[in-house]
Amino acid sequence: MPHARPGETAVTISDERVFPVLLSGGAGVRLWPLSREDSPKQLIRLMEGRTLFQQAVLRATDSDLFAPVMVIAGADHRFMVAAQLQEAGGVNARIVLEPMGRNTAPAVALAALLVAEVAPDRLLLLMPADHLISDVAAFRATVRSAVPAARRGLVTLFGIQPNEPATGYGYIRLGDPVPDAGCARNVAAFVEKPDRTKAEDYLASGNYLWNSGIVLATAATLLRQFSAHAPDLTAPVRAALSGATRDADFVRLDADAYASCRSISFDHAVLERGDGVAVVPASFGWRDVGSWASLWEASEHDADGNAVIGNVIAEATKASYLRSEGPLVATLGVEGLVVVATKDVVLVAAKGRDQEIRGVVERLRMRRDGDA
């Protein structure tokens, strides 16, 4: 692990605090055109106040529970990340830069290897940097409740208590209780995003939780899981770390070594393939703000159910998300739309089809690259 920077207290092996790791490498293409490769959703102000990234950092600044934050982010976002840490109150964080995106599995392996250099038995809290959590006290209490299961060598997930038959989240089917681990349950199965009928059945059964993607485990546990289920990932990550350059602000991975990593999510590479995975139920006001419809749900609404941001006039308009970053947007006699205007793009979509925006972005990428 890099040496402590000026003003940073070096972490010792006797320090039992949890290492919070923010995974901030995603681009958030389903929130295009506001979220783009050079300005991903976690680093832009989607709502009033702080960005999702800043909120995530501040959730992990309880010095009694957490060690200094580690941020794993894209190299192209390094200055935005550093600036937002300063805006959040000068939070001291270790920033590790990925030269290119390789999904979450290599990033998790990277964090585990860095922490294992200090102490393999230290706990890591792996958190996507683009989630919305409204009850910080409950979040920290859930972290504490997950420690006994994680200390037993289990990869411990945070499963959100569902309050609706959502079809946009993956689900976790609960197994038997974990002995001597409080409310933790073994994971019986992971279930991909269901259709509406299945989601209603899951909700009625009371035996399913939403998969938040938040994980608590020791570095040693994570590395054992990689060794068992994705052994090809750790060698190039080790090589990228071995060839890294480290300065006062950033750890810069060796690009050639990291490029050889397979691009795959941690869920698909490890969690869904093995045993030794537990889940603790969580209720802390969690939302994965991954689409315009989910952002509409999380926003304040006017009397007609519209979320209105920026230079917008809405007449006889209902249940819509209307946003302008510049030009005037005017709507009349419509319902259930997403209308987002930036300086160079206007998106108009049915709110119920906003998950398909990824395909629009892919077509634009192909056009840019001359493939269509």
Domain 19-290 coded CATH 3.90.550.10 = yes
Distance CA 181, CA 187 (A): 14
CA distance 361 to 341: 15
What is the pLDDT at residue 319?
A: 97
For residue 361, what pLDDT band results from cuts at 50, 70 and 90? confident
**What pLDDT does residue 202 have?**
94
Distances (CA, A) of 310 to 38, 132, 249: 22, 21, 35
pLDDT class of 4 with cuts at 50, 70, 90: very low
Spatial CA neighbour of 147 closest among 19, 287, 11:
19
Name the nearest CA neighbour of 253 among 29, 102, 129, 43: 102
Poorest-pLDDT segment among 200-209, 226-235, 242-251, 336-345: 242-251
Quick one: which H or E segment has residue 235? helix 231-242
pLDDT of res. 192: 87
Instruction: Please state the pTM of the whole predicted model.
Output: 0.89
pLDDT digits 0-9 by tens, 92-146: 899 999 999 999 999 999 999 999 988 899 999 999 999 999 999 999 999 999 9
Segments making up each domain of the chain, as ranges: 19-290, 293-368
Question: What tokens appear for 83 in the block?
Answer: 């600036």
Residues in CB range of 106: below 8 A, 6 or more apart: 98, 233, 236, 237, 258, 261, 262, 263
Summarize pLDDT for 277-286 with one digit per residue, the tens.
Answer: 999 999 999 9
Cβ neighbours for 17, distance < 8 A, ≥ 6 positions apart: 63, 64, 65, 66, 67
Mean pLDDT of the chain: 90
pLDDT digits over 184-215, tens only? 999 999 998 889 999 999 999 999 999 999 99
**% of the chain at pLDDT higher than 90:** 74
In the predicted structure, residue 27 carries a pLDDT above the cut 60:
yes
Is residue 371 pLDDT above 70, yes or no? no
